[in-house]
């Protein structure tokens, strides 16, 4: 009905790797292309729906479970979901994937080294983690496991934001947009 498939592009990567920035820019492009999409951002979830959760492994898994449930609701409504969430463990990402049909789920690894993420430190969180003020911070006092076989990798350390946005937008359009007969005739 919308001219595109629904599904979720699940962004994983270290804090500061550019997940949310990338999602926001890709969303703008997709909306221009007529793709109904939304962002389910980890930071916004933590401030609103998941304000009762901390950063223990159990709380992190519950945070991701809730994000998956919300994503499923949007998928049922025919919306494409961009979900920038750290999702630090392979095991938790594997559990999350089980909530979705395989054709509805894309795991996107936003690749960026810890050193570069820490240098960017857009919210000052790495500094707080290094000072010991912020506990269980991914990449410093809590581990991050890069995906072993993501569906797609976007390297924000070595490529410009514009290049990464173009690359991901092209990927999403080629995998989620339904070509009409008129487009095929051109």
Per 3-state DSSP, what percentage of the chain is helix, strand, and coil (rounded to 5)?
Answer: 45, 15, 40
Write out the catalytic residue numbers.
87
Q: How many CB atoms lie within 10 A of CB 98?
A: 9
Q: Which residues of 18-34 are buried (b: 16+ CB within 10 A; e: fewer)?
A: bbbbbbebbbebbeeee
User: Distance between CA atoms of 59 and 169, rounded to whole angstroms?
Assistant: 32
* Cα separation, 63 vs 53, whole angstroms: 7
């Amino acid at each position: 009905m919308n001219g595109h498939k629904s599904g979720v592009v699940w962004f994983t990567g270290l804090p500061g790797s550019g997940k949310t920035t990338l999602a926001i820019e890709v969303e703008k492009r997709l909306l221009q292309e007529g793709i109904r999409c939304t962002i389910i951002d980890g930071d916004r979830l933590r401030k609103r729906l998941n304000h009762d959760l901390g950063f223990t492994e159990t709380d992190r898994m519950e945070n991701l479970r809730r994000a998956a449930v919300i994503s499923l609701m949007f998928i049922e409504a025919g919306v494409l979901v961009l979900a920038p969430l750290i999702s630090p463990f392979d095991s938790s990402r594997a559990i999350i994937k089980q909530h979705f049909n395989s054709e509805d789920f894309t795991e996107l690894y936003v690749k960026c080294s810890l050193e570069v993420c820490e240098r960017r430190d857009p919210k000052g969180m790495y500094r707080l983690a290094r000072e010991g003020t912020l506990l269980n911070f991914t990449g410093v006092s809590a581990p991050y496991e890069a995906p072993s076989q993501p569906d797609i990798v976007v390297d924000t350390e070595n490529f410009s934001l514009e290049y990464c946005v173009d690359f991901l937008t092209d990927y999403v359009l080629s995998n989620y947009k339904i070509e009409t007969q008129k487009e095929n005739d051109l």
